[in-house]
Amino acid sequence: MSYLRACLLSFCLVPYVQATYDAREATIASTHHSLYTGLATCREVVTSFLSRIESLNNYTNAIISLDPNVLDRADAADVRLAANNASLGALFCIPTFLKDNYDTAALPTTGGNLDLAGSRPSLDAAAVTALKQAGAIILGKSNLHELALEGLSVSSLGGQTINPYDSTRTPGGSSGGTGAAVAASFAVWGTGTDTVNSLRSPASANSLFSCRSTRGLISRNGIIPISYTQDVIGPIARCVEDMAAALTVMASVGYDPSDNTTALVPPSARGVDYTASLTQGSLKGMRFGLLQGFMNTTNSSETTPVNNAMANITTKLLQAGATIVPIHDPLYNATALAALDTQRYEYREQMTTYLQRPSLHGQHPKTLNELYNSSDKFLVIPSQYEYVTTSLASSTSNQTWNTHPSYSSILHGVANLTLALHTTFAANELNAMIYPEQENLVVPIGSASQSGRNGILAALTGSPVVTVPVGFSPATQTAPEGVPIGMEILGLPWTEEGLLQAAFQIQGLGRVRKMPGWAKGVVEMSGDGKVPVVRPDRGNISPAYPVGVL
């Protein structure tokens, strides 16, 4: 993309340093270790990621924009570090990518859409303010499926993001740019949003962890919206510790009058430090409900690897002392549950409200209908998505509509489903439900949709889910490491602490995550110090897991 190229070129003038800091699979802990022991400056940390991006982004096309002032921010961090400032935050100098539907005053916020290329929020999203206060360094914005409406991660502004593990496949989505960027060590971690699957599908397809938190835990103020009922935001990371640290900061916004769902957080879930109790869980005695209806038992090259990985993880959970309770209730059928999707009722009002925020400057359409009127610029035509086409005429209050149930009957169905979910938990004494995020491998580039995903249950009920890597498909010519497979762990509202503890224990059962082969290359300066060069893997990649876990 020429758009990105312009941003990237500004870094060509940066002298490349032979880093003492290894960006590959770096964690918050390993980065802080380097900074606090004087092994690396913040400028060196940030530069090592930027040189990776410049040299390697062509393999995956994950990035939409880079902040041209990021090295100034790194230098400011170095001044604070040198001053031995006691109040360095939990994410001090941690390179971070934001999905390009998070408002930022420093960078355009486009949703990957050409019609929003000139849109300029003058305020940061509430979660972005919290991340900056905690010291995070925002490197830039990652590509997404256009306006976060599907899971293929192709957009009119950012093009197609390529799965880092298989050049013929999509990276999942809609937060696919963040997934690919984090898998390739272009940042330590990144943010996503999730209306149906969008934090979980990229985690699953890129061998990463993500947390879709309970609706209300994190303010959605300043995020390009789709659905009041279903939208949530959250972190995608390479290890549970980093996911927990990022979640803690994002949730620290707390009650925000501009997103009234944040009033729902009970006192026990306010101001929680999710890193504090990570090690205190145990799989022994935990009861996991395995949703049989969320698996495709067909024997095929796309589904069998997923079923094998699920069999593998359930065996490991049993060996660790957990109980697996098979759940056969036909209620848990993702295709049938999709009938309750609220997006077609809520999208128009939500998006038009966003486009009319007084803080949104620059050139941009003022309503969803106006945005779609210029559909010639859309890579993804609206007629491809029935719910988007429908939303142009429908609304939360339009009761004159014959071909779909009324909005109020849908909300009644969602409330009924939520009670049914709680009933399954209570009747089976479950701690959590488990199932594959996607019943088949992530789909090839060019597919019509990201089929086979199971995100709808948590999306409708506002339940928290932690996604964990559980395996890979067999290696092929285009996927030398195999294609990653992820599992969802769904809990009742406000049980994030327990879900993260379970994920931490599962991470400790044995390392599943692998780096994409091409991303193992070491990026360093050429002889003249001007051009970054990629050298093959030296085989000494710093582990994503702190010593002691494995």
Ligand X SMILES: *[C@@H]1O[C@H](CO)[C@@H](O)[C@H](O)[C@H]1NC(C)=O
Binding site for ligand X (CB under 6 A): 58-59, 79-80, 83, 85, 87, 228, 260, 296, 298-300, 302-303, 308-309, 312, 330-331, 333, 335-336, 369-370, 373, 393-395, 398, 400-401, 413, 416, 420, 440, 452, 471, 510
CB nearer to ligand X: give 279 or 395. 395
Residues 237/189, Cβ–Cβ less than 8 Å: yes
User: Residue 198: how many CB atoms within 10 A of its CB?
Assistant: 38
Query: Shortest distance, CB of residue 225 to ligand X, whole angstroms?
Result: 9
Query: Shortest distance, CB of residue 228 to ligand X, whole angstroms?
Result: 5
Nearest by Cα to 207 from 170, 177, 180, 169: 180
Query: Shortest distance, CB of residue 82 to ligand X, whole angstroms?
Result: 9
Residues contacting residue 79 through CB under 8 Å, at least 6 positions apart: none
Residue 257 burial by CB count (10 A; 0-12/13-18/19+): exposed, middle or buried?
Answer: exposed
The long-range contacts involving 75-79, CB below 8 angstroms and separated by at least 24 positions, are 75/42, 75/43, 77/42, 77/135, 77/137, 78/41, 78/42, 78/43
DSSP helix/strand/coil, 460: helix
CA atoms within 13 A on the CB side of 281: 26
Residue 510 burial by CB count (10 A; 0-12/13-18/19+): exposed, middle or buried?
Answer: exposed
CB nearer to ligand X: give 65 or 440. 440
d(CA 238, CA 247) in angstroms, rounded, equals: 13
CB nearer to ligand X: give 59 or 385. 59
* 72, two tokens: 């100034």
Alpha carbon 282 to chain centroid, angstroms: 26
Nearest by Cα to 334 from 168, 145, 201: 201
Residues 165/484, Cβ–Cβ less than 8 Å: yes
CB nearer to ligand X: give 510 or 548. 510
CB nearer to ligand X: give 75 or 370. 370
Catalytic residues: 99, 174, 198
Query: Shortest distance, CB of residue 497 to ligand X, whole angstroms?
Result: 27
